[in-house]
Every structure is written in structure tokens, then in C-alpha cells.
Homo-oligomer: A and B are copies of this chain.
Amino acid sequence: MPAHGETRRRMLDAAVAVMREKGASGVTIDEVLARSGAPRGSVYHHFPGGRQALIRETLDYAGESYSGMLERAAARGPDAVVTRLVEFWTRVLLDSDYRAGCPVVATAVRPPDGNEVIGRRAAEIFAGWQLAVAGAFTRAGVPGRQSATAATTLLAALDGAVSLCRTTRSLAPLNDVAAVLPRLVTL
């Protein structure tokens, strides 16, 4: 007897996990059902738009959670962003046995075949993150133009580090990058 959106919630959590591992185009109804244990009849009940609707809601669901974390860290400055993100990704990588990455970047980089709209939506979400991090640099005294550059470099290096952690099945790339990042983005 699931309460309000409990099945729905479980499906979204499962879909986020799949999207982390395989991107939006890897989110299949069958796998979400298998991982969530939800009944097949629930799919078109909770997501009348079918697979595309499920993917869209999964993307927003994942994006909002990450945005919240990033903005809270950004309020405490650029160093806090690095610290918090390294902490977060360490946990994600270990919990997934080095299989999970960022669902939003994965979706922006490679949208599902007949659906560029979802790719643009992912790009918008990412742009918000870039803005939040740039704000942290600005408040830390970095001139406006260079704040954007520093934010881009920080996010690029961390995203690449996560990819390399998945590739090497090790946390070393993340730690290597984190150790050097303060010098790369400081004047």
C-alpha cells in the first residue's frame, strides 16, 4: 500500500541511477522497473508521457538536487565548492563501484536520439551551475571576466576527473585534480 508518490519516487531514484551510468539514452523502462521493483502497470500511470516524460522528470529531479548542494557550497566560497564536490563524487563513485557519473552532463553531451530538447534542458541546468560557481569566485575577489573562466575550468577539471576515475577504477584522478585545482584557478 504505497502512499502518495512512493512508487513514483522509487522509479525516479532508479532512473537517476541508470542515467548516471548510461546517460539519458540508456534509461529504458525495463531497467527502471527492474531496479525499482515497480509494477509494469505503474509506468504510464505515473508518467503518462511514457519514456520521454520519465527521462525529462528524471533529469529535473537530479538537476535540482545537485543545484541545491552547489549553491549552498558556493555561498561559502570557491574552496568550499571544491571540497564539497570532491566529497560528493567520492561517495558516488564508491557507492556505484566506479560506474556512475553526472546525469546532467551525460544527457547534455549525448541526448537521446530523437530528442534534442532534453539536451538543451540539460545544458540550461548546467549553465546554472556554472553561474553559481562563478558567483563564488566573484565574491572571493576575482574580477568578473576571470570568474567565469575559473568556474568553467573548475567544473571541467572535476568532470574530467570523474570520467578518469571511472576509467581507472580509482579515486586518484579526483584527488590529483583537487590538489592542483586551487593553483590552477587562482591568480
Contact = CB atoms under 8 A, between A and B. Distances in A.
Interface in A108-164: 108-110, 122-123, 126-127, 148-150, 152-153, 155-161, 163-164
A163 B160 contact: yes
A108 B148 CA distance: 30
Q: Count identical subunits in the complex.
A: 2
A28 to B, nearest CB: 11
A184 B25 CA distance: 35
A160 to B, nearest CB: 3
Given A153-B157, A156-B160, A180-B187, 8 more contacts: A22-B25, A101-B109, A123-B167, A150-B180, A152-B172, A156-B157, A157-B160, A183-B184
Contact of A152 (B25, B108, B177, B184): B177
A109 B157 contact: no
A126 B173 CA distance: 13
B167 A105 contact: yes
Interface of A: 21-23, 25-26, 101, 105, 108-110, 122-123, 126-127, 148-150, 152-153, 155-161, 163-164, 166-169, 172-173, 176-177, 179-181, 183-185, 187
A106 to B, nearest CB: 9
Contacts of A22: 25, 110
A105 B163 contact: yes
A110 B26 CA distance: 10
Given A161-B160, A172-B152, A179-B149, A166 B109 contact: yes
Contacts of A168: 123, 126-127
Contact of A187 (B23, B26, B105, B183): B183
B156 A177 contact: yes
